[in-house]
Amino acid sequence: MRCALLLLAATAAWLAPGVPAQSGDLAANGAQFRVPVASMKELRFQKTLRQQYDFSCGSAALATLLTHHYGKPADEVVVFERMFQAGDQPRIKREGFSLLDMQRLLASVGMRADGFALPLQKLAEAKVPAIVLVSTNGYNHFVVIKGLDESRVLVGDPASGTRAIARGEFERMWTSKLLFVIHDWNGPVRFNEAADWNVAPAAPLAEGIDRQGLDWLTLPKHGPGDF
């Protein structure tokens, strides 16, 4: 879908309206109760925002990071609009957003973010989420690392929702080895939450959108330091 068709009128507020869960009847001991019912697909997108457009995984990943990990509700359409207006529009139309676009938007709201060439274990030690670029079958795609343990990485995928990936498989997909992290933040941060793990089946990450020209190398990378 061409970007010209995607520029919807953005609201001034970042907050996205929630989707109410459906309910069903449950009978027990002769009594009936109405309880909320949600499919696994719906559960996967409770803490991960679904990308609305073909090449908007970057804006959806950033909106997920802000909304569900930093307590700053963000609408993907608003994030998309703001990054597009401030970025290199011909490049974005061809390739989608880059980490540099995300860094600029975060700076505009007073949040510092950078790319760090560090191993996954640093996230566990720092207890912070990250946006990373993964590649599956030649397709590049932004996801949020929401948590990790010794054997799995929990990601928020804008295309397929929250899911867990075997750590070795994730390492092979994560070819850039770059962690995009918000730092110098004094507020609360959510990472490795049990509620996220509960809705993450052990399944491979879905293929993303072709983003071969992301050019993430334009973002300054920090060496083996710390967040």
Catalytic residues: 57
Helices 57-69/99-108 angle, 10° precision: 40
- CA 49 → CA 83, 94, 150, 151, 156, distances in Å? 17, 23, 26, 25, 8
Angle at 100 between CA 144 and CA 8, to 5 degrees: 80
Per the structure block, which two tokens stand in for 90?
């011909």
d(CA 183, CA 118): 14
Running DSSP on this structure, what letter comes out for residue 62?
H
The letter for the amino acid at 178 is L
